[in-house]
């Protein structure tokens, strides 16, 4: 409800109950005040009224006919009856039309059991159809895209899906094709329906027309045991329901959550669940023998070895020979136990940064998600949040729908569908912020220099009285928690760069890597990280799978994933969100917290009582009010900030932009069989004129070279949205790891193979 | 005096009733050589039926499972593929299991089934030595491809499938092969017997 005081209230009567609601309220919403449920199909609180299905008929006194509650606003003195003979007869007539061609699929329909059409048909519908002719037949089980199956016969054309695609995501690909009884849902272009938010239409669909491929026939709704938890795939922290059946996760569904997710989920959060039950998961601690083979060992043995190596290292070379990296993917409680155990040993080389991101806290102007949607200027700096924090991008799209302008800054192609303008530098923002009263900055946390420029701008805007809110869309889900809870370098101790440098210099005895994969993500690059790990006496890695990094470790400990443990995380806006175990973990795995508590016990280290951890974690975020773009977070080797966005000379080489993709990564997505169709293949994206200058055509295979480092076999894509002189590649792909390349550095194009030649080569 | 006469009369009545039963035909039969005719809608062991074209009737909708008051039925659905089409629609039962020890033979599964796939046959003899063998999975429930399509309950007058031809009289001697073995399992039993004889 709005906080403004000048809202005029209207008095009306609904089913004999006096109701006072703000002027302009829709009748269907006003009825919720007296807990009267008016049936709806096309109406949805987030999508607004459409007046298509007519099921919400109500009787308004003095109105000549029944009115639809979803598109009628309340007026003073209105007397409404939401049930009664007249209303029921009206709804029965509407149901007859809706069910006219609806197939009797309920027993095999994935929606059966949680279907509004079923429920209202039981409540208002006739028991038999009066239709004498055969029902119209339409295509069934249509492959609408990589995630969605469409059944046109079941569709009642409420248009929730196409309105979601138009209003909420602004992508406008789903439309209603043809008219009358021949109308079907389709994409306007005829191409497969591809969207990072496609799963939401299956939840919006009030019937079983749109269903998820990953959930198809997995279970019936009543079989699922549901757990409410928080999605930890990215730093947004959307509310999520996990449905489990016979020990396997069948699906995840969104939950009403206006403060964080706004009720939506991205496809990564929704569909990336098959890895939980993947046979490739590690389920027993594994120790590397001197010959390089892994042997399975018991948990007691594993923890003892870890503790022994830590103790020996402290005794022989001091605590400086020990380091730990991790925390960005752990729960708050786990981060605290990790930091406390390590610090009790005297270890100071602790860092959560395992990728490009340097900073996770948004500083003094840290805003809430609602601040973002009420901004009139949203500035995204660096990697677009559409790929790092997709549901945050929906908030930005909501802000744009409310009239905001969305400006992106940096060298990445903007793919948010709502970008007003694209700028190369933060300094170019001056003209845009002039008229703005509420400005939101969304930074990727990578380039501290750019962050500092944005912080300076934010400071000056705030001084002028402009409302400023800042956000950091992190690479790792709980990066903000890790930074606040002690897994960041303090008083000059080494960050992850320094830790790996010390390891390469042979100064490190024990390195613990908890839930991180620096081989794929750390900007030092795979060869440097491999060198660092090989020169360290003992490397412990807690992982779900044998990732690039885990394969090199001396001891691999099987960890539990997010739905298998309980605790809390921070979202990027600083809210503490509860994570609840909703899936039975494979036997033999342990949560990182349990391993660390066992380690602490083995080391005779006293850590805080488990009950007090949550309170400690919640208090910590208040204590770390670091500035947005604080120079202390800067990377020692960061020299690229000035060159980002400047037009490179395309004839000699191009600047490389390393983009995020929501389906990249070497862990949960890579080991998810059901997501194979969504994983991006290695691509190189060029602007049209840059491609023309370089002589690259769409579909060509290209290699990128910078000194010794190469990226081989990228498929060229040509778009109009990419900045000129820049080639964009996707970060975090195990098949083409781009982490060795610095964002913005100049790379040369080599070995361009035309699409036909590449095809022939492939055939041979 | 009167009470003595009354007592004797009552005694005589009581003995007369007892004596009556002594001369009546005994209800006990020498099972298993003699078997008693079922009630017309007797509920015995389950069977999963097929359509005329050999496709499975079961679509894996799990309505039997949710209707089951004893929680004895487990169904897991899967999608038909064009190469391997098990049932007419999009969905079929990849797994279908009934724990016959939990089953109370109420017949609600039969009633809930939208395709008349699961039926209760008259067969009740399923003794075994292991509990695990009472979990009947699809390989024992589904009528084999070459054993017909199964018999619907209403095609079975007096609890004996109509294809047997004759209705057997109350408390008659029933040939196990002809009567209780009238389901597809009876067919299997027959062949097994033949095999043994040969």
Residues of B in contact with A220 (CB under 8 A): 61-62, 66
Nearest CA in chain A to B78: A217
Q: Is A621 a residue whose pLDDT tops 70?
A: no
- Please, what is the Cα angle at A136 between A130 and A137, to 5 degrees? 135
pLDDT: is B148 or A405 the higher one? A405
The answer to whether the Cβ–Cβ distance between B114 and A107 falls below 8 Å is yes
Do the bridges between strand A683-687 and strand A726-730 make them parallel or antiparallel, or are there none, so unpaired?
antiparallel
Residues of A in contact with B63 (CB under 8 A): 107
Outline where A58-149 has alpha helix (H).
85-98, 116-124
Q: Is the peptide bond before A464 cis (omega within 30 degrees of 0)?
A: no
Residues of B in contact with A105 (CB under 8 A): 89
The answer to whether the Cβ–Cβ distance between A222 and B66 falls below 8 Å is yes
A58 SS3 class: strand
Q: Class for domain A363-472, per CATH?
A: alpha beta
A137 touches chain B (CB under 8 A): no
- Please, what is the Cα angle at A48 between A96 and A189, to 5 degrees? 80
The residue count for chain A: 764
| Topology (CATH level 3) of domain A300-356+479-570+583-623 | Rossmann fold (3.40.50)
Summarised one tens digit per residue, pLDDT across range A448-491 is 888 888 988 998 999 999 999 999 998 899 999 998 888 988 87
Considering CB atoms only, which of A112, A216, A223 is closest to B79? A216
In sequence order, what DSSP letters do the residues of A521-534 get, joined into one string? H-TT-HHHHHHHHH
Summarised one tens digit per residue, pLDDT across range A691-715 is 888 888 888 899 998 888 889 889 9
Considering CB atoms only, which of A140, A217, A246 is closest to B77? A217
pLDDT of residue A607: 86
C-alpha pair distances (Å), A623 with each of A107, A346, A617:
56, 22, 10
Considering CB atoms only, which of A217, A222, A246 is closest to B91? A217
Element (H, E) at A126: none
The answer to whether the Cβ–Cβ distance between A140 and B90 falls below 8 Å is yes
The answer to whether the Cβ–Cβ distance between B60 and A108 falls below 8 Å is yes
In this structure, the dihedral spanned by the alpha carbons of residues B119, B125, B130 and B132, taken in order and rounded to 10 degrees, is 0
Six token digits for residue A539:
């490397």
C-alpha pair distances (Å), A677 with each of A214, A271, A674:
11, 12, 8
Q: Tokens 């015995």 map to which residue?
A: B44
The residue count for chain B: 198
Considering CB atoms only, which of A140, A217, A220 is closest to B79? A217
Six token digits for residue A654:
């191009």
Q: What is the distance between the alpha carbons of residues A748 and B6, in angstroms, rounded to a whole number?
A: 123
> Cα-atom radius of gyration of chain B, to the nearest Å?
23
C-beta separation of B96 from B58 below 8 A: yes
Domain ranges of chain A: 9-98, 300-356+479-570+583-623, 363-472, 647-763
Six token digits for residue B38:
């079922």
CATH of region A9-98? 3.10.20.740
Residues of B in contact with A218 (CB under 8 A): 77
Q: Is A650 a residue whose pLDDT tops 50?
A: no
pLDDT of residue A312: 96
ipTM here: 0.83
A277 touches chain B (CB under 8 A): no
CATH of region A647-763? 2.40.40.20
Q: What is the distance between the alpha carbons of residues A613 and A631, in angstroms, rounded to a whole number?
A: 30
Q: What is the mean pLDDT of chain A?
A: 89
Q: What is the distance between the alpha carbons of residues A565 and A333, in angstroms, rounded to a whole number?
A: 11
C-beta separation of A560 from A589 below 8 A: yes
Domain ranges of chain B: 26-197
Arithmetic mean of pLDDT, A329-356: 93
- Which long-range contacts does B157-164 make (Cβ < 8 Å, 24+ apart)? B157/B40, B158/B37, B158/B38, B158/B40, B159/B37, B159/B38, B159/B39, B159/B40, B159/B41, B159/B42, B159/B122, B160/B37, B160/B38, B160/B122, B161/B122
Residues of B in contact with A219 (CB under 8 A): 62, 76-77
Q: First-to-last CA distance in chain A?
A: 65
A606: Cα within 13 Å, side-chain hemisphere: 0
Q: What is the distance between the alpha carbons of residues A725 and A691, in angstroms, rounded to a whole number?
A: 9
Considering CB atoms only, which of B66, B76, B89 is closest to A108? B89
A721 SS3 class: coil
Angle between helices A496-504 and A526-534 (to 10 degrees): 60
B152 SS3 class: coil
Q: First-to-last CA distance in chain B?
A: 77
The answer to whether the Cβ–Cβ distance between A220 and B61 falls below 8 Å is yes
In sequence order, what DSSP letters do the residues of A473-493 get, joined into one string? --SSTTHHHHHHTT-S--TT-
Q: What is the distance between the alpha carbons of residues B54 and B91, in angstroms, rounded to a whole number?
A: 16
Q: Is A727 a residue whose pLDDT tops 60?
A: yes
Arithmetic mean of pLDDT, B106-117: 93
Nearest CA-CA partner of A6 in A22, A20, A18: A22
Q: Which of B 90-119 lie inside 8 A of A, CB atoms?
A: 90-91, 114-115
C-beta separation of A433 from A425 below 8 A: no
| Topology (CATH level 3) of domain B26-197 | Alpha-Beta Plaits (3.30.70)
pLDDT of residue A36: 77
Arithmetic mean of pLDDT, A312-323: 94
pLDDT of residue A24: 92
pLDDT of residue A644: 37
Q: Is A642 a residue whose pLDDT tops 70?
A: no
A112 touches chain B (CB under 8 A): yes
Nearest CA in chain B to A112: B61
Residues of A in contact with B59 (CB under 8 A): 107-108
Considering CB atoms only, which of B66, B76, B91 is closest to A108? B91
Residue B157 CB neighbour total at 10 angstroms:
11
A534 touches chain B (CB under 8 A): no
């Amino acid at each position: 409800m709005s906080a403004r005081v000048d809202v005029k209230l209207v008095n009306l009567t609904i089913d004999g109950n006096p109701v006072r609601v703000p002027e302009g309220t829709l009748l269907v919403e006003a009825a919720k005040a007296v807990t009267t449920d008016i049936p709806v199909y096309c109406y949805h609180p987030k999508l607004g009224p459409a007046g298509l299905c007519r099921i919400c008929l109500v009787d308004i006194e003095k109105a000549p006919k029944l009115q639809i509650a979803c598109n009628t606003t309340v007026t003073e003195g209105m007397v409404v009856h939401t049930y009664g003979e007249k209303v029921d007869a009206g709804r029965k007539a509407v149901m007859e039309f809706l069910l006219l061609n609806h197939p009797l699929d309920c027993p095999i329909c994935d929606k059966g059991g949680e279907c509004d059409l079923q429920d209202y048909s039981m409540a208002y519908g006739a028991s038999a159809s009066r239709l004498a002719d055969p029902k119209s037949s339409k295509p069934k089980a249509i492959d609408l895209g990589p995630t969605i199956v469409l059944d046109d016969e079941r569709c009642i054309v409420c248009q929730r899906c196409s309105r979601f695609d138009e209003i909420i995501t602004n992508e406008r690909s789903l439309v209603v094709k043809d008219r009358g009884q021949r109308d079907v849902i389709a994409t306007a272009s005829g191409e497969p329906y591809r969207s990072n938010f496609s799963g939401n239409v299956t939840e919006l669909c009030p019937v079983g027309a749109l269903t998820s491929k990953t959930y198809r026939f997995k279970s019936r709704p009543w079989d699922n045991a549901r757990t409410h938890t928080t999605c930890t795939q990215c730093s947004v922290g959307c509310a999520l329901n996990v449905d489990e059946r016979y020990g396997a996760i069948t699906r995840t569904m969104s939950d009403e959550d206006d403060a964080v997710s706004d009720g939506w989920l991205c496809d990564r959060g929704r569909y990336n669940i098959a890895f939980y039950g993947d046979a490739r998961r590690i389920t027993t601690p594994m120790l590397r023998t001197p010959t390089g083979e892994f042997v399975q060992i018991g948990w007691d043995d594993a923890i003892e070895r870890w503790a022994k190596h830590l103790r020996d290292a402290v005794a022989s070379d001091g605590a400086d020979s020990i380091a730990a990296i991790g925390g960005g993917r752990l729960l708050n409680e786990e981060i605290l136990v990790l930091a406390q155990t390590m610090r009790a040993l005297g270890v100071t080389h602790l860092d959560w940064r395992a990728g490009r991101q340097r900073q996770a806290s948004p500083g003094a102007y840290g805003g809430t998600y609602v601040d973002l949607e009420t901004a009139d200027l949203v500035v995204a700096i660096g990697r677009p949040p559409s790929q790092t924090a997709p549901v945050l991008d929906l908030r930005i799209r909501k802000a744009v729908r409310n009239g905001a302008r969305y400006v992106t800054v940096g060298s990445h192609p903007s793919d948010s569908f709502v970008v007003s303008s694209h700028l190369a530098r933060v300094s170019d923002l001056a003209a845009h912020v002039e008229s703005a009263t509420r400005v939101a900055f969304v930074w990727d946390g990578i380039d501290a220099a750019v962050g500092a420029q944005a912080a300076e701008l934010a400071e000056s805007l705030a001084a002028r009285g402009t409302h400023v809110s800042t956000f950091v869309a992190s690479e790792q889900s709980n990066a903000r928690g890790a930074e606040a809870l002690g897994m960041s370098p303090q008083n000059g101790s080494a960050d992850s760069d320094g830790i790996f440098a010390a390891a390469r210099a042979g100064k490190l005895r024990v390195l613990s890597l908890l839930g991180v994969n620096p081989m794929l993500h750390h900007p030092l690059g795979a060869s440097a990280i491999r060198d660092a790990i090989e020169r360290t006496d003992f490397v412990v890695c807690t992982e779900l799978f044998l990732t690039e990094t885990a394969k090199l470790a001396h001891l691999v400990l099987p960890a539990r994933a997010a739905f298998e443990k309980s605790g809390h995380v921070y979202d990027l806006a600083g809210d503490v969100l509860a994570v609840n175990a909703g899936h039975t973990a494979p036997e033999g795995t342990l949560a990182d917290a349990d391993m660390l508590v066992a380690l602490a016990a083995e080391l005779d280290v006293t850590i805080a009582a488990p009950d007090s951890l949550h309170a400690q974690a919640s208090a910590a975020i208040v204590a770390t009010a670091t500035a947005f773009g604080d120079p202390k977070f800067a990377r020692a080797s960061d020299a690229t900030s000035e060159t980002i966005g400047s037009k490179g000379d395309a004839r000699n080489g191009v600047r490389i932009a390393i983009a995020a993709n929501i389906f990249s990564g070497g862990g949960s997505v890579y080991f998810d069989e059901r997501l194979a169709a969504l994983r991006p293949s290695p691509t190189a994206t060029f602007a049209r004129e840059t491609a023309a200058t370089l002589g690259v055509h769409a579909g060509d295979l290209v290699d990128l070279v910078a000194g010794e480092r190469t990226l081989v076999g990228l498929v060229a894509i040509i778009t109009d949205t990419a900045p000129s002189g820049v080639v964009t590649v996707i970060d975090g792909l195990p098949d083409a790891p781009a982490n060795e390349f610095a964002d913005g550095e100049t790379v040369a194009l080599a070995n361009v193979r035309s699409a036909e030649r590449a095809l022939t080569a492939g055939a041979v | 005096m009167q009470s003595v006469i009354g007592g004797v009369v009552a005694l005589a009545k009581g003995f007369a009733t007892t004596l009556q039963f002594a001369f009546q035909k005994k209800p006990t039969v020498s099972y298993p050589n003699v078997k008693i005719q079922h009630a017309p809608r007797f509920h015995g062991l389950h069977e999963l039926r097929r359509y005329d074209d050999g496709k499975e009737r079961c679509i894996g909708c799990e309505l039997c499972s949710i209707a089951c008051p004893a929680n004895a039925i487990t169904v897991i659905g899967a999608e038909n593929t064009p190469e391997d089409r098990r049932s007419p629609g999009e969905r079929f039962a990849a797994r279908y299991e009934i724990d016959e020890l939990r089953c109370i033979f109420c017949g609600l599964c039969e009633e809930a089934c939208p395709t008349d796939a699961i039926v209760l046959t008259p067969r009740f003899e399923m003794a075994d030595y292991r509990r695990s063998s009472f979990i009947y999975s699809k390989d024992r429930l589904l009528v084999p491809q070459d054993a017909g399509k199964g018999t619907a309950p209403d095609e079975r007058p007096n609890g004996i499938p109509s294809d047997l031809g004759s209705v057997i009289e109350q408390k008659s001697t029933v040939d196990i092969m002809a009567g209780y073995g009238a389901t597809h399992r009876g067919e299997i039993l027959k062949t097994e017997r033949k095999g043994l004889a040969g």
